[in-house]
Structure 1
């Protein structure tokens, strides 16, 4: 890819230690992953925590639950905070990737306001369910991080995260998916056509080029499905 078309990502912001300590004390056992983005258990957003949440400036909440928990894990303050409720099974075969775009859009809309006008918490009833996977995927796509680096960043701030093996594999696969999606978005139709022409014109490589075209097309379809 030309230097001018090289993918550009923002630098991962650092949280100041004194602010992190204050946030941990203020939002129960939730941890600040990025400035304004907290990850925690259900207890960090239950009814008794309303004064704490309001005092900390929380405006948005992602509620991650299994569908069988819908009767008791629900938005507690629908008139106070903006909620995103996701029913995600704690099952290795659950397709968690399909929730990544919606979650990223929700987090971006919150954090774009900046400061305490846009703070949020992502919580779940079970530590091994998908809330950590959603935050890891957000870091990967927003800051161009590899899965291992994003996982380490989150785990350093909330050590008890434990996404199941199926979610881990999907996060590892998502690294290639989001990079392909961004690459396609940045390339013009002319550049895409030129790329295919160069591959097709290489001596002795026509069969391989056709196979690569099919793989590239599959990535386009996948990217379109999750966008």
Structure 2
């Protein structure tokens, strides 16, 4: 028996598994072995965060905070003297603060999302606020990928940190960060442009 025949025999003995795949647009398919069937049910296209993450991480004292959408509440706005909120990919939660400056920048948490224009717009908002002695909270849905990538890019471009140092600083303040692989690659490319 050849190796290929032995592998084929073993493959035929494997049990087919059912895997439900949710695409970014919310559509679902079920994969059973090599068969793929479209499901009628739809979902959000992302994992819903069921544990509130209300405490923002202080990245730069009296200047820059990073958090999830849960951290954008009146208590935190008052407690940390936040004057500006940058919402990346998710609208700013409704807050009863008339003097709060809010900015929304559309951004999907997908590896193929181009961060250049997002970073450019975000950096202008953050740096303008900080130069005027204001305090900015940057958030996305979970405060893990999109907003973390924006804060890392800001540190690289405005604090002259390399990628590893900027990533390390943000990770030391907010352990759960994990920008998607596409964002990490783009941030590393940004390093060569900043240097």
For the superposition of Structure 1 and Structure 2, which TM-score range results when normalised by the shorter chain?
Answer: 0.5 to 0.7
Are residue 74 (structure 1) and residue 101 (structure 2) matched? Answer: no
Indicate yes or no: 2:164 matched with 1:145: no
Q: Aligned residue for 2:106?
A: 87
**CA–CA distance in structure 2, aligned partners of residues 126 and 168 of structure 1:** 17
The answer as to 2:131 corresponding to 1:108 is no
Query: Hey, what's the Cα distance between the residues in 2 that align with 1:54 and 1:95?
Result: 34
Residue 43 of structure 1, CA deviation: 0.6
Q: Which residue of 1 aligns with 2:19?
A: none
The aligned counterpart of 2:89 is 65
Question: Matched residues in 1 for 2:82 and 2:70: separation?
Answer: 15
CA shift at 1:54, angstroms? 2.5
- Give yes or no for contact 1:133–1:163 (8 Å, CA) kept in 2: yes
Query: For residue 56 of structure 1, what is the aligned residue in structure 2?
Result: 80
* Matched residue, 1:44: 71
Bigger fraction of residues in helix: 1
SS at match of 1:144: coil
Point out the structure with the larger strand share: 2
Structural RMSD (CA): 1.8
Structure 1 position 75, deviation (Å): 4.5
Gaps in structure 2 of 5+ consecutive residues = 1-52
2:184 maps to 1:168: yes
CA deviation vs aligned residue, 1:96-150 (integer Å, no higher than 9, x gap): 1221121111111111122xxx111111113443100000000011122110111
> In 1, Cα distance between the equivalents of 2:54 and 2:171?
17
State the aligned residue count.
141
SS at match of 2:66: strand
Query: Which residue of structure 1 lines up, in the alignment, with residue 152 of structure 2?
Result: 136
Structure 1 residue runs of 5 or longer lacking an equivalent are 1-26, 67-72, 180-227
Give structure 1 regions of 4+ aligned residues with deviation exceeding 2 angstroms: 77-80, 126-129
Q: By how many angstroms is 1:74 displaced?
A: 3.2
Measure, in 1, the Cα distance between the counterparts of 2:84 and 2:127: 11
In structure 1, how many angstroms separate the alpha carbons of the residues matched to 2:120 and 2:153? Answer: 9
TM-score by length of 2: 0.67
Partner SS state of residue 83, structure 2: strand
Once residues 127 and 53 of structure 1 are traced to their aligned partners in structure 2, the CA distance between those partners, rounded to angstroms, is 16
